Structure 1
């Protein structure tokens, strides 16, 4: 039986909650932020404002920007309401954040007149209960469902019924459209004259793995063709690997902070490798002398144990926080862990 997987994604979740609760914000550029933007409304995004941007930089792009403080308890409450609604449909759900998740509807889709009907009813019910809109994608697997949910944002839906439909859509898109292809990898591919997804097709799996490494080569070959064998991991235990250090004397220089972060990263990474795990999420925890504690995370769509990629994610988090002094605690951790065996593919099937 072919799988039917859907991905729901709440539209500008934190910002949408604030707009719902404060109608005066409607159609105005707002961000939910502390020192860093957590979520930007769609009017704010038109100015080039995005999550993880420094709030001061965001205000430079849009002087009339409205900044709303983060209220994580409120957002968690709304998330629980949404997740409870989803779990009434099926327990084959993988919640990957407050505002999104994958649902395996293979066993229940026949109860609905069509996939379109399911998506329409899902979005309508979410809006009736929460007053919030979401986007929905349905595909043959997690990859195609995730990409489908982005096509008609905000508040829309898209469905891929076959791999051919997906390939027709993706082939003329920039290679960056593939999950797991970041800025640096895109630059490397561009140097090899791979600009569009269809530029990947002339290469065999063996050639791509030889040129870019097994993990990246496999990603390019399979994802460009809509192939993704990962399951919706609804029974997955949530756990993490990491380390944190409390300092007797507060750190007060960029050099000290960088040195400690590198040490914590190396220790956590060594444990990740020792346990033979892949990770999607890197988190940085900071506590200041005044006891204020902040945490920031960055998540990849594709799990990895590539040290360079993971260290780059830590560096991005560190840069977004602009830490300088009075730090009493630092922590680095990896979460959303997977065993490599759950995603390894048999090469024979792909030639």
Structure 2
């Protein structure tokens, strides 16, 4: 989806259409989503609200409405399932679809994407973008090419040329730090990356080196998994006023423990690793975890362990955010049937 949270807000409130808006807290929080009008000023998701306001003085902050976003997300996924059951959600506004064997019997992946985008707009009033290719990595990269409200196909015959000319910062999975390291090594485009041996890339980038070696050659064997494993459950709060006192922290940890337990109970989830997240006033971040042999199951256990992790903190500085998360969950992965991709492609891209 295109600027999903912000687009929902502009759709539901016509007065916001065409304006620079940010979904998130104005004073102490971060930007959860920015409209395309705001992005022109450099406002991005995960940016501190204060910074966003400095970049765009006329920025309008809108409080998030997650129940509404989930409602729209369900409507969109209903459309996906009209075409295939092989849908792998990545978030509320993004998913992979394997349409090799689709329910409509359509032979063109391009036309399927175009039809899905049209139906999304008719049902929700929102625009979506799509990427089409032979594997998940290429489809993901392609989905960003013609945003907003467009689609891009990377035809099998064009994969090599496309990847060789692609800037490395556009490769899915290459963040700012990795991109800067690649720049320092003279790696600016796919063709530069392709010159490096797998041994060289592994030495420079660890386990990710083999991934970069393969994807720059168009190799990515991950299947579309309809039942993604939930790896963690987290709750966190950014406070309107910094926390200075131990008692304040204990009260917030108790509240977070209760909320975490409530979320876990709803989905019958247990976990063995509890992580405390602390963000200080200066935005420095600290996390520490404890893993136990038995599953955590009670809010009292989360609180007791959270306090123990708090005592291990390296700094006594004002705290602006606290979070608790549980991982090593009791969820099990369901094996999916392997399906070889043989999608017919066309020599055009639909906008």
TM-score (norm 2): 0.69
Q: Give aligned pairs, total.
A: 272
Q: Which residue in the other structure is 1:304 paired with?
A: none
Q: Decide whether the 8 Å contact of 1:250 with 1:326 is kept in 2.
A: no
**1:18 maps to 2:44:** no
- Residue 249 of structure 1 is matched in structure 2 by 247
Identify the residue that residue 57 of structure 1 maps to in structure 2.
51
Give the superposition deviation at 1:326.
8.4
- SS across alignment from 1:331: strand
Counterpart-to-counterpart distance in 2, 1:243 and 1:20: 28
Question: Where do 5+ consecutive residues of structure 2 fail to align?
Answer: 237-244, 251-276, 294-302, 304-316, 337-351
- Is residue 223 from structure 1 mapped to residue 215 from structure 2 by the alignment? yes
One of 190, 211, 227 as aligned partner of 2:183? 190
Deviation at 1:206, TM superposition (A): 2.8
Alignment of 1:158 onto 2:146: no
1:302 corresponds to:
none
How far did 1:248 drift?
7.4
Give the counterpart of 2:164 among 145, 152, 171.
171
In structure 2, the residue matched to 1:133 is: 127
State how far apart, in whole Å, the 1-side matches of 2:278 and 2:82 are.
46
CA–CA separation in structure 1 for the residues paired with 2:328 and 2:41: 32
Equivalent position of 1:28 in the other structure: 19
1:249-286 per-residue CA deviation (whole Å, 9 max, x = no partner) reads 2239xxx9469x74x53436x99xxxxxxxxxxxxxxx
Shift of 1:335: 8.6
The 5 Å alignment of 1:250-269 reads: 250-251=248-249, 257=278, 262=286, 265-267=288-290
Deviation at 1:338, TM superposition (A): 10
Q: 1:143 to 1:26 in 2, by over 3 A?
A: same
Aligned to 1:233: 225
Give 2:113's aligned residue. 119
Say whether the 8 Å CA contact 1:19–1:26 is kept in structure 2: yes
- Is 2:226 the partner of 1:203? no
Alignment of 1:322-337 (within 5 A): 324-325=318-319, 330-333=323-326
- SS state of the match for residue 79, structure 1? helix
Deviating 4+ runs (over 6 angstroms)? 241-244, 335-339
Q: Using the TM superposition, give the Cα deviation of residue 334 of structure 1 relative to its aligned residue in structure 2, in angstroms.
A: 5.2
Q: Deviations over 1:92-117 (max 9, x none)?
A: 11011000100111112882252221
Q: Which structure has the larger Rg?
A: 2
Distance 2:212 2:319 in 1: 42
Greater mean deviation of Cα atoms: 40-49 or 26-35: 26-35
What runs of 5+ residues in structure 1 fail to find an aligned partner? 1-9, 272-286, 288-322, 343-351
Name the CA distance, whole Å, in 2 between partners of 1:18 and 1:220.
37
Offset of residue 172 of structure 1: 2.2
Describe the SS at the equivalent of 1:330. strand
